[in-house]
Amino acid sequence: MPKSQLIAKIKRMDVTNKIQRKHWKQMIGISLGDIALNDENLLAIRKFRPNEEVLVTITPMQQDMAEELERIKRVHPVEGILPETEGLSDLPANPLDLLTEEEEEGEEGQELLEITVLEEGEEDTLDPGEEVSKTFEF
């Protein structure tokens, strides 16, 4: 049997409820418009008979941003307990220790900078020859 995946816009949806004595039936009709077809899809569609049953899956092309954010949070957690992964277990507790270990191993050219965050009302005094390179306001 041929198999084809189509991209289309739903033009109209009809829901019909029928009651016949003790039986109740519901029929849903979906009309498609603006179907993107290529040669393979067109050949596959032509092989289906009008009353043949097919499996239809409706998936929106536009992603749901709430679901995408939840997926990103699961993959890249920012709080809580991180799962043990290879390579992370041997990291030091203080991230600055990484820089000092690299310098001890003989890598020259890296300079350890000390960053001081001033609270509101505090003044910073510069030593002679120092200058302010960047200022951030929050």
Output the pLDDT for position 73.
Answer: 81
d(CA 13, CA 28): 7
* Percentage above 90 pLDDT, the chain: 2
Q: Is 49 exposed, middle or buried (0-12, 13-18, 19+ CB in 10 A)?
A: exposed
7 touches 61 (CB < 8 A): yes
Rounded CA separation 71/24 (Å): 41
Say which amino acid occupies 74.
R
What does pTM read for this prediction? 0.38
Tell whether the model's pLDDT for residue 76 goes beyond 50: yes
DSSP 67: H
Q: Residue 103: pLDDT band by 50, 70, 90 thresholds? A: very low
Output the pLDDT for position 67: 82
Distance, CA of 22 to CA of 128 (rounded, Å): 96
- Tens digits of residue pLDDT in 1-30: 678 888 888 899 999 988 888 888 888 888
Q: What is the mean pLDDT of the chain?
A: 77
pLDDT confidence tier of residue 110, bands split at 50, 70 and 90: low
pLDDT score at 47: 87
